[in-house]
Amino acid sequence: VALVVDSTGAFTDPTADGDSEPGALRGHLEAGAVKTILSAPFKIRSKGLEMPADTVTTVMGINDEDYNPDRHTLVSAASCTTTCLSYMVKPLIESIGGHNLLSASMVTVHAATGSQQVLDRLPGSGASDLRKNRSILNNIILTTTGAAKALGLVIPEMKNIGFIAESVRIPTSTGSLIILVINIQDEPGKPTKRDFINGIYRDYAELSPYLRYSENQNVSSDIIGVPQAAAIIEGTETHTRTASIFVNLAKTDAADLPEANSILEVPVTQAVIYGWYDNELGSYTNMLGDLTVKVAESMV
């Protein structure tokens, strides 16, 4: 076997030796595989270790050109949430510019996954998050997501932008939703409008096979199985509000300047954008298949 796609979820640490117990991602390479694709984000278990040079995290259509077949043997396809989020953020950065994005936050309202419990059960000794042992069939459960960290791997500009990512699990089998909130620095007298934001996604969707823009009033079951749709922007729900923030220059790096006692008025627009994604077949699995084809073709 020359190319392995590891979808077990059991082996995500790219630094673990191939002969580690009870197994490791690099074990595929030591067993003879030339390359291995991981259908999850890399997770380094030992603090202080760097990401190995032969690894890369890619999202098709966003940064798959970062994959170097002569260098990379372990390839992460990120996660379904990072995939959707990248298609919500990349069009904004290309149109508005990363330097004009002051901060961002997101919440993914995420369908249940196989790691969750059908029924409540007793937590193990020393468990830090008791909610992981609660029934997903009967609860809305707050949890964590690594989407913010992974997003910086596929869109490096996001490393310089304050970004918070949260996750809420709900009792549906598939079909998830990202609610993205961004704060944009405007030019004086030129506030960012809802139609402008929607136009960015509408135009990008015409060029990208992985982004959809919708003016329909969707519910989660409507987007299940939509082929290759990394994100489906719900244009009817995009909202913007513009206001001024007042910056005290005495509390900035400009404190030594003559104008340090000045108060600077900055126009800022807050935009709320909704993006659907089928976290199983429609979005992530289809794109994982495309990545597998890309890697396989590079091995011929």
* Mean pLDDT confidence for 40-67: 95
Top-tier CATH class for 3-78+287-298: alpha beta
* Mean pLDDT confidence for 269-296: 95
Domain boundaries along the sequence of the chain: 3-78+287-298, 80-280
**pLDDT per position as a tens digit, 209-228:** 999 999 999 999 999 999 88
| Nearest alpha carbon to residue 110 among 61, 18, 178 | 178
pLDDT, averaged across the chain = 94
pTM as predicted: 0.93
Right CATH for 80-280 from 3.30.360.10, 3.40.50.150, 3.40.50.970, 3.40.50.2300: 3.30.360.10
Percent of the chain with pLDDT over 70: 97
**pLDDT per position as a tens digit, 16-41:** 998 888 899 999 999 999 999 999 99
Per-residue burial over 230-241, b = 16 or more CB atoms within 10 Å of its CB, e = otherwise: bbbbbbeebebe
CA distance 195 to 240: 9
- Contact residues for 256 (Cβ-Cβ < 8 A; gap 6+): none
CA distance 171 to 194: 32
pLDDT attached to residue 251: 80
Residue 261 has pLDDT above 80, yes or no: no
* Residue 199 buriedness (CB in 10 A; 0-12 / 13-18 / 19+): middle
Which one is catalytic: 38, 60, 80, 158? Answer: 80
The gap between the terminal CA atoms of the chain, to the nearest Å, is 14
pLDDT attached to residue 255: 64
pLDDT attached to residue 127: 85
Greatest alpha-carbon pair distance for the chain in Å reads: 68
Show the DSSP H helices in 172-234 as ranges. Answer: 194-207
Higher-scoring residue by pLDDT: 256, 8: 8
CA distance 148 to 174: 21
**pLDDT per position as a tens digit, 60-78:** 999 999 999 999 999 999 9
80 annotated active-site: yes
